[in-house]
A and B are shown apart, each in its own frame.
Chain A
């Protein structure tokens, strides 16, 4: 589904290019759940943003293929219509635009793109109500402005609501677990687990092992200083939890030196 080859990405740092990603290789097959773990500033969020099409990053080398297409040549809205979804680490507040209008505009934009008829108000409402129940969200949040005045947990749940309504092929969750208490974390995890299917892939970007107790990944990658330094199965995450990132980083440095 997603093949990243030797991806190098820089940002502009006072006129100088600062390299954030330094040769990422990643292959995500349909139906797989991958977790990308790593310490602060390792480049996890940059990878998520680049995949969603955020401007301001320069891809200096490498390629990203998604369902056989050149992902980097597509606009953010094209990527979304082709089934890529990013759950934001910091969901954006949009004053004056209700959550209902936002969701309906997004859903109908995608349906239109796929030649499907737009959903009318009734069908939309029954769909959204059902999905809100599933992620444990108060219906009152539908008429409120997008994320405005939402608590941290409500914002994250709102991302998962969008995920369940838009039903993407590839979902990238950027630290969706941060700032959630244990009950909210379980609800979010249930929402994501419900979405697991042989046609859908999920990439979880996270700091902590905690989320992976509830969403068990097929593959775990450790990202450090812009490179994937280690990959393994779910046990790798537990190992990291016990020993911290420094051990993996040290191992890697030792390997490079050797």
Chain B
């Protein structure tokens, strides 16, 4: 590991912050440089660390470069087509190519009053105000977040003033293009009191893109605010992806997180919520569909820090080939968080003998009068159900796809927006044998 660190220093990684947006602002540069020092001091995590026990990230350490690129290339025609399709729908679209905002592909017109949506790089370059606290080490939930603090190139900054209700969703499309790029998106969402919005983060890459994406999204919810966040991971088969999504909730706020993971060679999502005020609602949903040698790790953590909050977590996985899934969901009920109501469930379907899943729901309770439940299962497709479908003339392969579709529906059905639900349903069906046939029948 040290040898590799040496080689990055040869490439003067420590100098990268001097070239990135905001380098002219002393506090930004200082924050980035100290973040890089923290990363360099710790280096990549190894499997000896409890939080990384099941996920080996050494292939990221073996990359030839970790530095973000400067000039984004032209995205693939497939990616452009998706951007154009999205631009024609009633949503606000920001497209990022290799981590850099591409205004030409985006659609941000007609934002209602009370909404500020901008590119992080633009804000940093213009020296506009941005709370320094967002680059604070205390927000670095993993060592990758320190690297993101150091190298974040661009992303979305969304500011919703109190009472703003954004009906159309915000769609952030991250396109990885070209060989071996390192991409560092950083998104910041600040929702004022009673504000509401839906934010979609969609990561897609081409078949050949050996990209490394290291993303961080910070979401802060004031009292009574409601944010639905949906992440679609559809990176190319050679991509590595590490991301943090971190919410902080004031009283009576409602945070809904969905994580749909379909692509990538190695991916890790750390999703956390801190329930700081009374009577918050927090929902975390996730679905992972893996095959071949994909490795996908979800680490979630919900901290109940105030009384009378409700948290719900529903994760499901379908694993085929030699894939490996990890679910580690921690719920911590801190002292004083009385009348907490927390429920967590993780169900997995193994479709092959070589597929593997490690599931670990964890509850830590330090308060009284709480209602906390959790459960996890690992199983196979049910023979009785398969026979039932086949006895109605449905061939075995289609029957299996119908059952898998049914298994995913529990999670997809929790997405509030119908159009988004349909889009995700189609992405999932595209992965199933004869899925197009089911799509036609729906």
Which A residues are closer than 8 A to B by beta carbons?
A: 52-55, 75-77, 79-81, 85-86, 88, 91-92, 94-97, 101-102, 104-106, 108-110, 113, 145, 162, 166
CB of B393 within 8 A of CB of A77, answer yes
B370-413, CB < 8 A from A: 382-385, 387-396, 398-399, 402-403, 405-410, 413
A137 to B323, CA, bound (A): 44
A173 to B393, CA, bound (A): 17
| Neighbouring B residues of A92 by C-beta, 8 Å | 382, 384-385, 387-388
Instruction: Look across to chain A and name the residue whose beta carbon is closest to the beta carbon of B441.
Output: A104
Instruction: Look across to chain B and name the residue whose beta carbon is closest to the beta carbon of A86.
Output: B391
Q: Give how many A-B residue pairs fall within 8 Å (CB-CB).
A: 92
Query: A96 with B406: in contact, given A77-B395, A104-B441, A108-B441 (CB under 8 Å)?
Result: yes
| Neighbouring A residues of B385 by C-beta, 8 Å | 92, 94
| Neighbouring B residues of A53 by C-beta, 8 Å | 387, 390-391
What is the minimal beta-carbon distance from A247 to any residue of chain B, in angstroms? 35
| Neighbouring A residues of B384 by C-beta, 8 Å | 92
CB of B391 within 8 A of CB of A80, answer yes
Which B residues are closer than 8 A to A by beta carbons?
A: 382-385, 387-396, 398-399, 402-403, 405-410, 413, 437-438, 441-442
- A52: which of B391, B405, B406, B408 is its contact (CB, 8 Å)? B391
Instruction: Look across to chain A and name the residue whose beta carbon is closest to the beta carbon of B409.
Output: A96
What is the minimal beta-carbon distance from B429 to any residue of chain A, in angstroms? 12
CB of A105 within 8 A of CB of B390, answer no
CB of A96 within 8 A of CB of B405, answer yes
- A54: which of B387, B392, B403, B442 is its contact (CB, 8 Å)? B387
What is the minimal beta-carbon distance from A146 to any residue of chain B, in angstroms? 8
Please give me the 10 A-B residue pairs with the lowest Cβ-Cβ distance, nearest first. A96-B406, A96-B409, A80-B393, A106-B392, A97-B406, A76-B390, A92-B388, A110-B393, A109-B393, A77-B390
- B398: which of A95, A104, A105, A162 is its contact (CB, 8 Å)? A105
CB of B410 within 8 A of CB of A96, answer yes
A109 to B390, CA, bound (A): 10
- A75: which of B396, B405, B409 is its contact (CB, 8 Å)? B396
| SS class, residues of chain A in contact with chain B | helix
What is the minimal beta-carbon distance from B32 to any residue of chain A, in angstroms? 46
Instruction: Look across to chain A and name the residue whose beta carbon is closest to the beta carbon of B388.
Output: A92
Interface CB pairs A-B, < 8 A, 24: A53-B390, A53-B391, A75-B396, A77-B391, A77-B394, A77-B399, A79-B391, A80-B392, A80-B393, A91-B388, A92-B382, A92-B388, A96-B410, A96-B413, A97-B402, A104-B441, A105-B394, A105-B398, A106-B389, A109-B393, A145-B406, A162-B392, A166-B392, A166-B393
A109 to B392, CA, bound (A): 9
What is the minimal beta-carbon distance from B56 to any residue of chain A, in angstroms? 33
Instruction: Look across to chain B and name the residue whose beta carbon is closest to the beta carbon of A111.
Output: B393
- B403: which of A52, A80, A85, A94 is its contact (CB, 8 Å)? A94
- B438: which of A75, A76, A105 is its contact (CB, 8 Å)? A105
